[in-house]
Structure 1
Protein backbone atom coordinates (compact mmCIF):
# COMPACT_ATOMS: atom_id res chain seq x y z
CA UNK A 1 0.00 0.00 0.00
CA UNK A 2 1.35 3.42 -0.96
CA UNK A 3 0.53 6.55 1.05
CA UNK A 4 1.16 9.90 -0.64
CA UNK A 5 3.34 12.15 1.52
CA UNK A 6 4.59 15.68 0.86
CA UNK A 7 6.76 18.13 2.75
CA UNK A 8 10.12 19.80 2.45
CA UNK A 9 13.72 19.09 3.34
CA UNK A 10 16.25 21.39 4.90
CA UNK A 11 19.95 21.13 5.69
CA UNK A 12 20.54 19.44 9.03
CA UNK A 13 23.71 21.44 9.80
CA UNK A 14 25.37 18.32 11.16
CA UNK A 15 28.80 17.18 10.14
CA UNK A 16 27.79 13.73 8.93
CA UNK A 17 30.04 12.75 6.01
CA UNK A 18 26.94 11.24 4.37
CA UNK A 19 25.41 14.76 4.12
CA UNK A 20 22.03 14.32 5.77
CA UNK A 21 18.91 16.51 5.65
CA UNK A 22 15.83 16.75 7.83
CA UNK A 23 12.35 16.20 6.42
CA UNK A 24 9.28 18.07 7.61
CA UNK A 25 6.11 16.33 6.45
CA UNK A 26 3.30 18.80 5.68
CA UNK A 27 0.77 16.39 4.14
CA UNK A 28 0.06 12.71 4.84
CA UNK A 29 -2.39 10.70 2.71
CA UNK A 30 -3.99 13.90 1.41
CA UNK A 31 -4.50 15.41 4.88
CA UNK A 32 -2.51 18.39 6.11
CA UNK A 33 -0.13 17.83 9.01
CA UNK A 34 -0.35 20.95 11.19
CA UNK A 35 2.95 22.78 11.69
CA UNK A 36 3.72 25.92 13.62
CA UNK A 37 6.46 28.44 14.41
CA UNK A 38 7.27 30.69 17.37
CA UNK A 39 8.70 34.18 17.55
CA UNK A 40 11.67 34.84 19.80
CA UNK A 41 13.43 38.01 20.91
CA UNK A 42 15.72 39.32 23.58
CA UNK A 43 18.87 41.16 24.59
CA UNK A 44 22.29 39.54 24.82
CA UNK A 45 24.58 39.72 27.83
CA UNK A 46 26.56 42.94 28.36
CA UNK A 47 30.16 42.28 27.34
CA UNK A 48 33.04 44.51 26.18
CA UNK A 49 30.95 47.60 26.94
CA UNK A 50 27.78 46.79 24.99
CA UNK A 51 24.97 44.34 24.29
CA UNK A 52 22.81 43.50 21.25
CA UNK A 53 19.11 43.00 20.61
CA UNK A 54 17.75 40.15 18.50
CA UNK A 55 14.43 39.01 17.07
CA UNK A 56 13.44 36.09 14.85
CA UNK A 57 11.07 33.25 14.02
CA UNK A 58 11.80 29.58 14.57
CA UNK A 59 11.71 27.00 11.80
CA UNK A 60 8.42 25.08 11.51
CA UNK A 61 7.79 21.96 13.59
CA UNK A 62 4.84 19.55 13.81
CA UNK A 63 1.98 20.36 16.16
CA UNK A 64 0.57 17.99 18.76
CA UNK A 65 3.71 15.86 19.25
CA UNK A 66 6.89 16.27 21.32
CA UNK A 67 9.17 18.57 19.35
CA UNK A 68 11.85 21.26 19.30
CA UNK A 69 12.51 24.10 16.84
CA UNK A 70 15.69 25.22 15.14
CA UNK A 71 16.31 28.98 15.14
CA UNK A 72 18.66 31.44 13.47
CA UNK A 73 18.97 35.23 13.39
CA UNK A 74 21.45 38.10 13.48
CA UNK A 75 21.78 40.53 16.36
CA UNK A 76 21.41 44.28 15.99
CA UNK A 77 24.50 46.21 14.94
CA UNK A 78 26.07 47.72 18.05
CA UNK A 79 29.66 48.91 18.48
CA UNK A 80 29.94 48.58 14.65
CA UNK A 81 29.38 44.82 14.45
CA UNK A 82 26.76 42.09 14.79
CA UNK A 83 26.70 38.40 15.74
CA UNK A 84 24.85 35.28 14.61
CA UNK A 85 22.51 33.45 16.94
CA UNK A 86 21.54 29.87 16.13
CA UNK A 87 20.50 26.73 17.94
CA UNK A 88 17.70 24.37 18.86
CA UNK A 89 15.05 25.18 21.44
CA UNK A 90 14.30 22.95 24.37
CA UNK A 91 11.22 20.71 24.26
CA UNK A 92 7.72 22.18 24.35
CA UNK A 93 6.60 23.32 27.81
CA UNK A 94 2.80 22.99 28.02
CA UNK A 95 0.65 25.73 29.50
CA UNK A 96 -2.32 24.98 31.81
CA UNK A 97 -4.87 26.55 29.44
CA UNK A 98 -3.41 25.01 26.26
CA UNK A 99 -0.58 25.98 24.00
CA UNK A 100 3.11 25.84 24.83
CA UNK A 101 6.40 27.69 24.65
CA UNK A 102 10.08 26.71 24.39
CA UNK A 103 13.16 27.88 26.26
CA UNK A 104 16.37 28.64 24.39
CA UNK A 105 19.89 29.73 25.31
CA UNK A 106 23.40 29.81 23.96
CA UNK A 107 26.24 32.02 22.83
CA UNK A 108 26.59 34.22 19.77
CA UNK A 109 29.34 33.84 17.22
CA UNK A 110 32.61 35.67 17.92
CA UNK A 111 32.88 39.08 16.23
CA UNK A 112 33.94 42.72 16.78
CA UNK A 113 37.14 44.79 16.67
CA UNK A 114 37.90 43.26 20.08
CA UNK A 115 36.77 39.67 19.27
CA UNK A 116 34.15 38.49 21.77
CA UNK A 117 30.81 36.72 22.08
CA UNK A 118 27.64 37.26 24.11
CA UNK A 119 25.35 34.91 25.98
CA UNK A 120 21.61 34.92 25.40
CA UNK A 121 18.54 33.11 26.75
CA UNK A 122 14.79 33.41 26.73
CA UNK A 123 11.42 31.89 25.98
CA UNK A 124 9.63 31.75 22.65
CA UNK A 125 6.20 33.20 22.07
CA UNK A 126 3.22 30.92 22.77
Structure 2
Protein backbone atom coordinates (compact mmCIF):
# COMPACT_ATOMS: atom_id res chain seq x y z
CA UNK A 1 0.00 0.00 0.00
CA UNK A 2 1.33 3.47 -0.88
CA UNK A 3 2.47 5.71 1.97
CA UNK A 4 2.88 9.18 0.45
CA UNK A 5 4.45 12.09 2.28
CA UNK A 6 1.98 14.82 3.19
CA UNK A 7 0.95 17.42 5.77
CA UNK A 8 -2.37 18.50 7.29
CA UNK A 9 -3.75 21.96 7.96
CA UNK A 10 -5.36 22.51 11.37
CA UNK A 11 -7.21 25.32 13.11
CA UNK A 12 -8.81 25.30 16.56
CA UNK A 13 -9.97 27.67 19.27
CA UNK A 14 -8.63 27.36 22.82
CA UNK A 15 -10.71 27.28 25.96
CA UNK A 16 -11.45 30.52 27.77
CA UNK A 17 -8.96 31.35 30.54
CA UNK A 18 -8.32 34.70 32.24
CA UNK A 19 -11.25 36.15 30.28
CA UNK A 20 -9.91 35.43 26.79
CA UNK A 21 -9.17 32.67 24.29
CA UNK A 22 -6.70 32.18 21.44
CA UNK A 23 -6.69 30.50 18.05
CA UNK A 24 -4.12 27.93 16.99
CA UNK A 25 -3.49 27.39 13.30
CA UNK A 26 -0.81 25.79 11.19
CA UNK A 27 0.43 22.73 9.33
CA UNK A 28 1.63 19.46 10.78
CA UNK A 29 5.12 18.16 10.10
CA UNK A 30 5.39 16.01 7.00
CA UNK A 31 5.40 12.21 7.28
CA UNK A 32 4.84 9.25 5.00
CA UNK A 33 1.56 7.51 5.67
CA UNK A 34 -1.98 6.76 4.59
CA UNK A 35 -5.37 6.45 6.23
CA UNK A 36 -4.88 2.81 7.15
CA UNK A 37 -1.48 2.64 8.84
CA UNK A 38 -2.10 4.52 12.12
CA UNK A 39 0.61 7.13 11.49
CA UNK A 40 0.64 10.44 13.34
CA UNK A 41 2.16 13.91 12.86
CA UNK A 42 3.95 16.36 15.13
CA UNK A 43 2.92 20.01 15.18
CA UNK A 44 3.93 23.19 16.98
CA UNK A 45 3.40 26.91 16.93
CA UNK A 46 2.29 29.97 18.81
CA UNK A 47 -1.29 30.99 19.43
CA UNK A 48 -2.89 34.14 18.12
CA UNK A 49 -1.91 37.32 19.96
CA UNK A 50 -4.75 38.14 22.36
CA UNK A 51 -4.84 40.09 25.62
CA UNK A 52 -1.28 41.37 24.92
CA UNK A 53 0.33 37.93 24.75
CA UNK A 54 0.53 34.56 23.02
CA UNK A 55 1.30 30.99 24.13
CA UNK A 56 3.58 28.31 22.70
CA UNK A 57 2.14 24.86 22.00
CA UNK A 58 3.52 21.52 20.86
CA UNK A 59 1.65 18.33 20.09
CA UNK A 60 1.28 14.98 18.41
CA UNK A 61 -1.87 14.18 16.45
CA UNK A 62 -3.93 11.09 17.05
CA UNK A 63 -3.59 8.22 14.57
CA UNK A 64 -4.86 8.56 11.00
CA UNK A 65 -8.64 8.21 10.61
CA UNK A 66 -9.56 6.91 7.16
CA UNK A 67 -12.37 8.47 5.14
CA UNK A 68 -14.43 6.67 2.47
CA UNK A 69 -12.68 8.53 -0.38
CA UNK A 70 -9.23 7.16 0.62
CA UNK A 71 -8.08 10.31 2.38
CA UNK A 72 -7.76 10.73 6.13
CA UNK A 73 -7.58 13.23 8.98
CA UNK A 74 -6.27 13.35 12.55
CA UNK A 75 -7.63 14.59 15.85
CA UNK A 76 -5.60 17.08 17.87
CA UNK A 77 -5.82 18.01 21.54
CA UNK A 78 -3.53 19.51 24.13
CA UNK A 79 -2.74 22.54 26.20
CA UNK A 80 -0.69 25.64 25.67
CA UNK A 81 2.31 26.56 27.75
CA UNK A 82 1.76 29.01 30.59
CA UNK A 83 1.96 32.76 30.20
CA UNK A 84 1.44 35.56 32.70
CA UNK A 85 -2.03 36.99 33.31
CA UNK A 86 -0.45 40.45 32.97
CA UNK A 87 2.53 40.00 30.59
CA UNK A 88 5.79 41.75 31.36
CA UNK A 89 6.71 44.51 28.91
CA UNK A 90 9.39 43.32 26.48
CA UNK A 91 11.10 45.28 23.76
CA UNK A 92 10.77 42.58 21.09
CA UNK A 93 7.78 40.53 22.26
CA UNK A 94 8.01 37.02 23.58
CA UNK A 95 7.83 35.66 27.10
CA UNK A 96 10.05 36.26 30.13
CA UNK A 97 9.75 33.68 32.93
CA UNK A 98 11.58 35.41 35.77
CA UNK A 99 8.85 35.95 38.36
CA UNK A 100 7.68 32.53 39.62
CA UNK A 101 4.97 33.93 41.91
CA UNK A 102 3.40 36.11 39.22
CA UNK A 103 -0.13 34.82 38.28
CA UNK A 104 -0.15 32.84 35.05
CA UNK A 105 -2.57 30.77 32.98
CA UNK A 106 -2.77 28.32 30.11
CA UNK A 107 -5.48 27.08 27.72
CA UNK A 108 -6.67 23.72 26.41
CA UNK A 109 -7.63 23.03 22.80
CA UNK A 110 -9.05 20.24 20.70
CA UNK A 111 -10.09 19.81 17.10
CA UNK A 112 -9.24 17.93 13.94
CA UNK A 113 -6.99 18.42 10.96
CA UNK A 114 -8.29 18.72 7.43
CA UNK A 115 -7.61 16.02 4.87
CA UNK A 116 -3.96 15.69 3.90
CA UNK A 117 -2.38 18.14 1.50
CA UNK A 118 0.99 18.48 -0.20
CA UNK A 119 0.84 15.10 -1.90
CA UNK A 120 3.07 14.50 -4.89
CA UNK A 121 1.58 15.66 -8.22
CA UNK A 122 -0.66 13.02 -9.72
CA UNK A 123 -1.21 11.18 -6.43
CA UNK A 124 -4.69 9.63 -6.27
CA UNK A 125 -5.80 8.71 -2.71
CA UNK A 126 -8.56 6.46 -4.06
CA UNK A 127 -5.82 3.99 -5.07
CA UNK A 128 -5.19 3.31 -1.37
CA UNK A 129 -8.44 1.57 -0.60
TM-score (norm: length of structure 1):
0.71
Q: Which consecutive unaligned segments of at least 5 residues does structure 2 have?
A: 87-102, 116-129
Instruction: Give 1:66 shift.
Output: 2.8
Q: Which residue of 2 aligns with 1:76?
A: 48
CA–CA distance in 1 between the matches of 2:15 and 2:4? 35
CA–CA distance in 2 between the matches of 1:52 and 1:123? 16
Structure with greater strand percent: 1
TM-score (norm: length of structure 2):
0.69
**Paired residue for 1:120, among 109, 112, 116?**
109
Instruction: Give 1:98 shift.
Output: 1.5
Q: Which residue of 1 aligns with 2:20?
A: 50
The C-alpha deviation readout for 1:14-45, integer Å capped at 9, x for no partner, is xxxxxxxxxxxxxxxxxxx7300001111100
Secondary structure in 1 matching 2:53: coil
Q: Which residue of 1 aligns with 2:66?
A: 94
| 4+ runs deviating over 6 angstroms | none
The C-alpha deviation readout for 1:83-119, integer Å capped at 9, x for no partner, is 0111100000001122000001011000022410000
Instruction: Give 1:63 shift.
Output: 2.5
CA–CA distance in 2 between the matches of 1:43 and 1:66? 25
Secondary structure in 1 matching 2:43: strand
CA–CA distance in 2 between the matches of 1:34 and 1:118? 34
Q: Which consecutive unaligned segments of at least 5 residues does structure 1 have?
A: 1-32
Q: Size of the alignment, in residue pairs?
A: 94
